[in-house]
A and B are shown apart, each in its own frame.
Chain A
Amino acid sequence: MSHPTHDTRQYLLRLYVAGQTPKSISAFANLKNICEEHLQGRYQIEVIDLLINPTLAKDEQIFALPTLIRKLPEPVIKIIGDLSNTERVLVGLDIKVLAPEHGLKNAQP
């Protein structure tokens, strides 16, 4: 395992939704929580409503909603869903978890 504590990259995250649906609201809330917990101070979230900017759907190759695109750091990564499965979001966005040392040791019996 490398040193996870040294991730200092800035995250630019775009959340694509279609209006104020329950899924889009919960997606935003879930994202906000994850970012606050793991990326405090180095993230930026942009919420884009495709009902207002429909051309972006084609440009960004979006078919499922909500979709989250990690614009930065590169490479661009796209994940789908309301972000309720935190582990999958972390893996998908390649966010290094600030895990306690013993936790890692437990993982290696």
Chain B
Amino acid sequence: MQHLLKTPTGIKGLDEITDGGLPKGRPTLICGGTGCGKTLLAMEFLVRGATQFNEAGVFMSFEEKPEELSSNFASLRFDLNDLIDQKLLSIDHVKLEPSEIEITGDYDLEGLLIRLDYAIDSIGAKRVVIDTLEVLFFGLNDEDLLRSELRRLFSFLKSKGVTAIITAEQGKKTFTRFGLEEYVADCVIFLSHSVSHQIATRRIRIVKYRGSAHGTSEYPFLIDEQGFSVIPISELTLDHPASNERISTGILRLDTMLGNKGYFRGSSVLVTGTSGTGKSSLAAHFVNASCARGERCIYFAFEESQNQIIRNMHSIGINLNQWVEQGLLKFQNTRSTLYGLEMHLVVMHKLIDEFKPSSVILDPISNLVETASKPEVKYMLSRLIDHLKTQEITALCIDLTSSKEEKEGTDINISSLMDTWLLLQIMQGSGERNRGLYILKSRGMAHSNQVREFILMDDGIQLRDVCIGSGGVLTGSDRDNQQAKDKAEYLESKQEIERKQREIERKKAMIEVQIASLQNQFEAEKEDLLRLINKEKLRNELLLQDQLDMSKLRQADPTPKSSNSSEGSYQ
């Protein structure tokens, strides 16, 4: 089967959703209500054809004059006159004044075909725009004739082999007021302009594209000074790269808490907390660290102005202005209610693609809820985060939670999309409000389970260990109190130990003195006793000697018995 040939439009995003462009050599119908951008899309098709693909184009206008078109598109930086001079563009204005038309019999629209034919041949056009055919219906008021003539017009366009865009007004129940979609069977594109929550969003949809794959969703589009851009945002493919590189959070102790290294590059970080918990300050630290590494960063702020943020961060010692001046930091401050959610997404995409940051801050995402319903916001954020992940851009999203709600939850239920989730919480007690920081989750890394007290100082955020007291975690002056109390108790017990040790020494000394005196006493008694013993011994000797002397005198036989007995008594 022959592959359908396509003509690229060159319009940002449109070629992606049409899988390559409009059907080559065939007419495409673009329909939509007033002011939805039909003429712009059609003209940009020609201008991009001329400037990017060197294909000349013919613009047949039933509404605006060439001068009007030139000046309208000059504001979009399209120089139509220059293209006309280069023979890349030909504008033919068909003037149709119903009041001046007098019909006197049979006629056909051969004149139009001759004009188109001549215009196409004179510049060798490959692209044709007819904007808008309805004018013929109003001017000629003969539907039967017009229908047969339109059929002829479309077959003429096909025979010329030009890729054509026909614009048409939206009908009440049909895509076009006069059912032109019947004639253009190949490709029908519908532009809409819807308003919800008082916010207008432009959307584009490929209603029909015979023989080609195409996106079927409604895609938001943007018209700005660079023309038309469609963002094909359904990148829900989940095959984005996963970097192992770690980048600093800008706060040393937080890096330590996150496995000693910080966030993963290209991950999404959610910071939640009630108001005044220091979420933006945490983001500012991250911005500061990113820019200091020479990386680009975009700060999307939905609440505060650039100057306000810079001033506020100055008070905690962070100079963001220097990064703005060096072109590393870009602020995008828009009220979330300025335009619709899709539009925010488109603007973000565009800015991200232009500035090519390595990290972005969304402060706060909860504000986007004002513009749409929660599921829509979640859907949009998931698309944005997917887009950021495919580009390895680290995203830090700030979510303001209302204090009434569950702490470990987000207003928009987007926590499941996030890789790292930091919770900032007010810890109240002793008439004080102190900030605490927890890591609720951090995919793919070891992380601390500790609460840290989060203190905003002149020189930035400091994280401190908290005290675990009898009443739980203690912060602020409670913690200081607890620390003082602990110190006092420590001192006291130290003194007590010293005192006891001194007592031991004293007791020991006393006992030693007692031992010494007892020893002395013993020595003295021992001496006395020995002296008595000697005395007795001496006396016994003397007594024995006396007995011997006596028996000598008495001439008695020595008897051992008496000697023994005397010995026994002696003992």
Listed stretches A4-12, A37-45, A50-58, A98-106; interface member: A50-58
A89 and B104 contact, Cβ closer than 8 Å, known pairs A61-B94, A63-B96: yes
A64 and B109 contact, Cβ closer than 8 Å, known pairs A82-B104, A85-B104, A88-B102: yes
Residues of B contacting A67 in the complex (Cβ-Cβ under 8 angstroms): 107, 111
Q: Tell me the nearest residue of chain B to A68, going by C-beta.
A: B104
Interface centre among A26, A62, A63, A83 (most CB of B within 10 A): A63
A64 and B107 contact, Cβ closer than 8 Å, known pairs A78-B100, A80-B101, A88-B102: yes
- A28 to chain B minimum Cβ distance, whole angstroms, is 12
Q: Tell me the nearest residue of chain B to A50, going by C-beta.
A: B114
Any A CB within 8 A of the CB of B427: no
Which secondary structure characterizes the binding site on chain B?
Answer: mixed
- B115 to A54, Cβ gap below 8 A? yes
Residues of A contacting B55 in the complex (Cβ-Cβ under 8 angstroms): none
- B447 to chain A minimum Cβ distance, whole angstroms, is 73
- A107 to chain B minimum Cβ distance, whole angstroms, is 22
Complex CA–CA separation, A62 to B92 (angstroms): 11
Specify which of B102, B111, B118, B136 is in contact with A16 (CB 8 Å cutoff).
B111
- A22 to chain B minimum Cβ distance, whole angstroms, is 9
A65 and B104 contact, Cβ closer than 8 Å, known pairs A54-B114, A55-B118: no
- A66 to B114, Cβ gap below 8 A? no
Complex CA–CA separation, A16 to B115 (angstroms): 13
- A81 to B111, Cβ gap below 8 A? no
Complex CA–CA separation, A88 to B105 (angstroms): 9
Residues of B contacting A83 in the complex (Cβ-Cβ under 8 angstroms): 104-105
Q: Tell me the nearest residue of chain A to B94, going by C-beta.
A: A63
A85 and B105 contact, Cβ closer than 8 Å, known pairs A54-B118, A63-B96, A78-B100: yes
Chain A 66-87 interface residues, beta-carbon cutoff 8 Å to B: 66-68, 77-85
- A81 to B114, Cβ gap below 8 A? no
- A57 to B115, Cβ gap below 8 A? yes
- B104 to A64, Cβ gap below 8 A? no
Complex CA–CA separation, A82 to B119 (angstroms): 26
Q: Tell me the nearest residue of chain B to A17, going by C-beta.
A: B110
Residues of B contacting A82 in the complex (Cβ-Cβ under 8 angstroms): 104-107
Complex CA–CA separation, A47 to B119 (angstroms): 23
Complex CA–CA separation, A2 to B112 (angstroms): 40
Residues of B contacting A27 in the complex (Cβ-Cβ under 8 angstroms): 105
Any B CB within 8 A of the CB of A14: no
A23 and B114 contact, Cβ closer than 8 Å, known pairs A58-B92, A78-B100: no
Complex CA–CA separation, A91 to B114 (angstroms): 28
Q: Tell me the nearest residue of chain A to B90, going by C-beta.
A: A58
Any A CB within 8 A of the CB of B117: yes
- A65 to B108, Cβ gap below 8 A? yes
Q: Tell me the nearest residue of chain B to A51, going by C-beta.
A: B114
Q: Tell me the nearest residue of chain B to A92, going by C-beta.
A: B102
- B102 to A64, Cβ gap below 8 A? no
Chain B 68-105 interface residues, beta-carbon cutoff 8 Å to A: 92, 94-96, 100-105
- On chain A, the number of residues with a Cβ less than 8 Å from chain B's Cβ atoms is 33
- On chain B, the number of residues with a Cβ less than 8 Å from chain A's Cβ atoms is 24
- A63 to B112, Cβ gap below 8 A? yes
Any A CB within 8 A of the CB of B348: no
- A81 to B104, Cβ gap below 8 A? yes
Residues of B contacting A63 in the complex (Cβ-Cβ under 8 angstroms): 94, 96, 109, 111-112, 115, 136
- A45 to chain B minimum Cβ distance, whole angstroms, is 15
- B476 to chain A minimum Cβ distance, whole angstroms, is 83
Q: Tell me the nearest residue of chain B to A59, going by C-beta.
A: B115
Residues of A contacting B104 in the complex (Cβ-Cβ under 8 angstroms): 68, 79-85, 88-89, 92
- A18 to B105, Cβ gap below 8 A? no
- A81 to B115, Cβ gap below 8 A? no
Residues of B contacting A65 in the complex (Cβ-Cβ under 8 angstroms): 107-111, 114
Specify which of A54, A80, A91 is in contact with B107 (CB 8 Å cutoff).
A80
- A1 to chain B minimum Cβ distance, whole angstroms, is 22
A50 and B105 contact, Cβ closer than 8 Å, known pairs A55-B118, A64-B140: no
Complex CA–CA separation, A26 to B140 (angstroms): 21
Residues of B contacting A80 in the complex (Cβ-Cβ under 8 angstroms): 101-104, 107
Residues of A contacting B118 in the complex (Cβ-Cβ under 8 angstroms): 54-55, 57-58
- A38 to chain B minimum Cβ distance, whole angstroms, is 14
Q: Tell me the nearest residue of chain B to A64, going by C-beta.
A: B107
Complex CA–CA separation, A83 to B96 (angstroms): 20
Q: Tell me the nearest residue of chain B to A23, going by C-beta.
A: B106
Interface centre among A26, A58, A82 (most CB of B within 10 A): A58
- B96 to A81, Cβ gap below 8 A? no
Q: Tell me the nearest residue of chain B to A60, going by C-beta.
A: B111
Residues of B contacting A89 in the complex (Cβ-Cβ under 8 angstroms): 104
Residues of A contacting B117 in the complex (Cβ-Cβ under 8 angstroms): 54
Complex CA–CA separation, A16 to B383 (angstroms): 59
Residues of B contacting A66 in the complex (Cβ-Cβ under 8 angstroms): 107
Q: Tell me the nearest residue of chain A to B121, going by C-beta.
A: A54
- A87 to chain B minimum Cβ distance, whole angstroms, is 9
Residues of chain B touching chain A, judged by Cβ–Cβ distance below 8 Å, are 92, 94-96, 100-112, 114-115, 117-119, 136, 140
List 7 A-B residue pairs with CB atoms under 8 Å apart, sorted by A's residue number.
A18-B110, A50-B114, A58-B92, A63-B96, A64-B111, A77-B102, A91-B102
